[in-house]
Each structure stands twice: as C-alpha cells, then as structure tokens.
Amino acid sequence: MTPNSQLLDIISDPILGPFEGEDFCIDEQGYIQVYDSNPKVAAMIMRKANTSGLFPVNLVKVAHKGDTIILGFDNLSTTEPVFANQIGYQKSVLAEVKVSEDGKFCIYLDKRRSARTFAKLTSAKTFVKRLDKDLQTVGETVATYEESDD
C-alpha cells in the first residue's frame, strides 16, 4: 500500500468527510491541496495523519499557493542544516536553514518547519536575521514591561 493510499484511508471518512475532490485533492507529486477557505480541514488532515503513527515523518504545511494550502510529508527534518543560529531574546530559539531536493531553502524554528521557502540561501539568512531582530525587540519590550512597578 502506497503512502498516499494509506493517507487517504486515514483522513477520509465516508460519512463526515472530508471528501476528496470536494474539500481536498492529492496531486501527482503526492502533495495534498486544501482550499484556502477551509484551514480547519488542513489542520484536521495533519492531526489525523500525525497521530496515526503510520508514517515515519510528520505531515506539515509545505506552502501556500494562490487559493490553496499545500501539505506534504516533512522529509527534511532529519537532514543536516546548511545554516544554524540561536536567535531571539536571550538566544532561546534555534533557527535552521535546510535544503530540499528541489533546491529550495526551508526555515526551521525549534525543529518545526515554517511554510516559508526561499530560492537563495542569502534570502533565507536575511529572513532569519530580521526575525532575530524582531524577537529581540519584543523580548526587551516585554522584559521592560515586567520590571515596571505599575
């Protein structure tokens, strides 16, 4: 049994749905496309697949194209990052950049994949640096607020 047919058996309920072709579809590359108007279906599909225990890797949100949410299996979770850095307030967040088979650069924050992908490594590093700056600013603001005697 192929992973796509296993996944289809797990997520399809003939009575309550979601219904293939109506709420989601599986393309020829094996990606699940869920219509943008119904993110609840995407979340339910990911939850059912990830809690089933039948797959060695998690089903994650891979991209957002047009009016569809694209879900796929996270095959990069075990690969070595090409760039890693501790970011955020008190350097508490691990940011990693990993390369997919098609040459796209994916961002991982604390071992969780972000839906953002980049064509160049420099763009991914710039995104991480900007995120670091934003997280440090927010952390310092919260720390200042918590120390006040109001």
Domain boundary among 40, 73, 106: 73
115 plus 62 within the same structural domain: no
Domain boundary among 47, 73, 99: 73
Q: Is 45 inside any structural domain?
A: yes
Domain boundary among 50, 73, 96: 73
Fill in the DSSP letter of residue 89: G
Q: Is 110 inside any structural domain?
A: yes
Domains of the chain: total:
2
Q: Which pLDDT score is estimated for 146?
A: 67
Spell out a b/e string for 63-88, using b for 16 or more CB atoms within 10 Å of the CB, else e: eeeeebbbbbbbebbeeebeeeeebb
Which domain covers residue 125, as residue numbers?
Answer: 83-147
The pLDDT profile of the chain, 150 residues, written as one tens digit per residue, is 677 778 778 777 666 667 766 788 888 888 889 987 788 888 888 888 888 888 888 888 888 888 899 998 888 888 999 999 999 888 889 999 999 888 999 999 998 888 888 999 999 999 999 999 998 888 777 766 666 555
Q: Which pLDDT score is estimated for 53?
A: 86
18 plus 63 within the same structural domain: yes
Q: Which pLDDT score is estimated for 94?
A: 93
Q: Which pLDDT score is estimated for 86?
A: 93
Q: Is 78 inside any structural domain?
A: no
Q: Is 47 inside any structural domain?
A: yes
What pTM did the predictor assign?
0.76
CB 106 within 8 A of CB 100: yes
68 plus 11 within the same structural domain: yes
